[in-house]
């Protein structure tokens, strides 16, 4: 099931040109947990993942811009 959701996320991201890496696997695991019921999802883990995404996306964008400026 996780693989199916991960593939669906890759196809969705590819259609809209969104770069992805491990996010697809995390999203797949979260989707499977949600499909089994909200009581199967640890809220602490969800908060950590959301916080990391809020940090990783801007940092990645900034590093990409800095790389472009160096070339």
State the residue for tokens 């669906």: 8
18 φψ region: left (φ > 0), alpha (ψ -120 to 50), beta (else): beta
Q: What is the pLDDT of residues 16-69, one digit of tens each?
A: 777 666 666 677 777 777 888 877 778 887 888 788 778 877 887 888 888 776
What is the pLDDT at residue 26?
75
Nearest 5 degrees, angle CA 18-CA 22-CA 23?
55
What is the pLDDT at residue 19?
66
């Amino acid at each position: 099931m996780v693989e199916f959701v991960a593939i669906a996320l890759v196809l969705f991201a590819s259609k809209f040109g969104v770069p992805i890496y491990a996010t697809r696997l995390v999203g797949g695991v979260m989707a499977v947990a949600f499909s089994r019921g909200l009581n199967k999802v640890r809220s602490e883990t969800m908060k950590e993942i959301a916080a990391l995404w809020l940090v990783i996306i801007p940092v990645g964008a900034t590093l990409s811009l800095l790389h472009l400026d160096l070339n």
